[in-house]
Amino acid sequence: MKRILIVDDEADICLLLKNFFAKNGFETDTAANGEEGIKKLKEQTFDLVICDFKLPDYNGLEILQKIKIINAKTQVIIITGYSDVRIAVEALKKGAYEYVTKPLYPEEILMIVKNALKQEAKSPNSTKPVKTSTTKATAPNQYVVGKSRHAQVVQKHIELIAPTDMSVIILGETGTGKEYVAKSIHYNSKRADQPFIAVDCGALPDELAGSELFGHIKGAFTGAINDKKGCFELAEGGTLFLDELGNLSYDNQVKLLRVLQERYVRRVGGAKDIPVDVRVLVATNENLKKAVSEGNFREDLYHRVNEFVIELSPLRERTDDIPMFAEHFLGAANEQLDKQVMGFDKGAMAMLKAHHWHGNLRELSNVVKRAVLLCQSDKVNDDCLPVELMSPEPVSSGNIDVDFNGTLPTSLRAVVEHAEKSAILEVLKKTNNNKSKTAELLDIDRKTLYNKLTLYNIDN
Ligand SMILES: Nc1ncnc2c1ncn2[C@@H]1O[C@H](COP(=O)(O)OP(=O)(O)OP(=O)(O)O)[C@@H](O)[C@H]1O
């Protein structure tokens, strides 16, 4: 029986999840803070941890790091508020399996938990922060090109560059699809039948990076109990995708440059040069050029990998692509959740197009998946979308009408009331007169909202 640890300082959430997972055939335990969770993880083995991002003693990234040190095989799912999506994405980079946003829907977490545990069972090597991808996982028909001009240009570049052996730097914010582009280059190249190996250099601890990339021989360091191939050898004949290249230590940058120039690797502790034929694609969401000028990234390595650049725009700058991706994610979610949601109604699509999407396609995919899960009708409507999507800009006094038509207000109280009424009217408009959502966005309860509607003579 798989074992799950739930770490959350909200006793209700712990209890709800504990009972729900117990009913679904898991053995569960809970901890009210990070320290207690760590203690339990040291004493017992858990297959998976569901952990709140904001604990009284640790934040999600800190606790994630500690969990992975105790047992790198333990899958971690982070619970976060919607506004923390950017930090949650950071957690994914540091080895979390997935993040879920509040409010929690047990069915949604159950699905994620099952997938996480399946993946763990399938890949005995998952102790290593190395992701290997197979043809199946990247079937070209899952790749959406998009219809914006930007997407069309990117596609042209992929087609142009794929058949060559050139190194490519893929630039873009988190979740813009850099790894997808790398896979598309690989599967459109003559190396398509050979391995595609992805390494997240951002998740590689410095002391492990050399061995992960170049391999090691038995006895090279404490813990090197066997000879091990590195990613270059694993990718032989195929493509190696180095994500977050900017995070590689200077020392490993030197070694990497040597491999790229001389086309052989030497395992850590080894004396033999092993020839390698590997195409290297790299991605970064940092400004590598700036890192070079600041002396944090080797200029010679930068020039070596910079044979061609593909830059992916943030989703908010190519809103024409949103409907197509949303439909694609909807199809995937229908399949995964065994649902038959037909599409999005006008209001929901308008909200998707207006949102800022800090987490880009990854965030859109998660939002659509949850919407499909919650959807009770044939189309996704605004009720199924996170309330945060209702107000693309945070409600602030800057948005609120405080104009008294040139006359001076009679009292400070009148100013407050005027601002309050304007804020309520504005949010009601944005939510299509939905009282629950209006109250939620204004952070008041429904009763208070109704009192204020009466006070300010607002129709309801
Ligand atoms: N072209 C595409 N077609 C379909 N889905 C895509 C495409 N590009 C990205 N996605 C979706 O967006 C998610 C994030 O993509 P990907 O991992 O490639 O982004 P990334 O830029 O490499 O992210 P990070 O910087 O965080 O590593 C994918 O899991 C997939 O669901």
- Nearest residue (by CA) to ligand 1, atom 8, is 177
Distance from C-alpha of 297 to C-alpha of 210, rounded to nearest angstrom: 17
Confidence of residue 84 (pLDDT cuts 50, 70, 90): confident
> Quick one: 143 and 84 in the same domain?
no
Distance from C-alpha of 100 to C-alpha of 17, rounded to nearest angstrom: 13
Please report whether residue 107 resides in a domain: yes
Q: How many domains does the chain have?
A: 4
What percentage of the chain reaches a pLDDT higher than 70? 90
pLDDT value at residue 392: 53
> Quick one: 224 and 363 in the same domain?
no
Please report whether residue 256 resides in a domain: yes
Please report whether residue 151 resides in a domain: yes
Judge if the beta carbon of residue 178 lies within 6 A of ligand 1. yes
pLDDT value at residue 206: 79
Class of residue 293 by CB neighbours under 10 A (exposed 0-12, middle 13-18, buried 19+) = exposed
At residue 3, φ and ψ (nearest 5 deg) are -110, 130
> Quick one: 186 and 106 in the same domain?
no
Judge if the beta carbon of residue 253 lies within 6 A of ligand 1. no
> Quick one: 113 and 139 in the same domain?
no
> Quick one: 168 and 66 in the same domain?
no
Distance from C-alpha of 106 to C-alpha of 116, rounded to nearest angstrom: 15
Please report whether residue 116 resides in a domain: yes
Query: Ligand 1 center to residue 365 CA distance, Å?
Result: 9
Please report whether residue 460 resides in a domain: no
Strands (E), 217-330: 239-243, 264-265, 274-275, 279-284, 309-311
Query: Ligand 1 center to residue 27 CA distance, Å?
Result: 33
Ligand 1: residue of 361, 364, 369 to mutate (most ligand atoms within 8 A of CB) is 361
Confidence of residue 457 (pLDDT cuts 50, 70, 90): confident
> Quick one: 282 and 264 in the same domain?
yes
> Quick one: 148 and 296 in the same domain?
yes
Here the CATH number for the domain that contains residue 201 is: 3.40.50.300
Instruction: Note whether ipTM > 0.90 here.
Output: yes
Residue 444 DSSP class: -
Strands (E), 102-226: 130-133, 168-171, 196-200
Residue pLDDT, tens place only, 214-269: 999 998 888 888 999 999 999 999 999 999 898 898 889 999 999 999 999 999 99
Q: When comparing pLDDT for 275 and 130, which is higher?
A: 275
Here the CATH number for the domain that contains residue 26 is: 3.40.50.2300
Judge if the beta carbon of residue 365 lies within 6 A of ligand 1. yes
Residue pLDDT, tens place only, 114-123: 989 987 544 3
Here the CATH number for the domain that contains residue 322 is: 1.10.8.60
Query: Ligand 1 center to residue 429 CA distance, Å?
Result: 34
> Quick one: 12 and 28 in the same domain?
yes
> Quick one: 297 and 416 in the same domain?
no
Distance from C-alpha of 189 to C-alpha of 165, rounded to nearest angstrom: 8
Atom of ligand 1 nearest to the CA of 200: 27
Q: Residue 125 is which amino acid?
A: N
Domain boundary among 290, 311, 332: 311
> Quick one: 297 and 227 in the same domain?
yes
Domain boundary among 122, 152, 185: 122
**Which residue range(s) make up the domain with 328?**
315-390
Judge if the beta carbon of residue 172 lies within 6 A of ligand 1. yes
Contact between residue 212 and residue 230 where contact means Cβ atoms under 8 Å apart: yes
> Quick one: 264 and 384 in the same domain?
no
Domain boundary among 311, 331, 351: 311
> Quick one: 284 and 320 in the same domain?
no
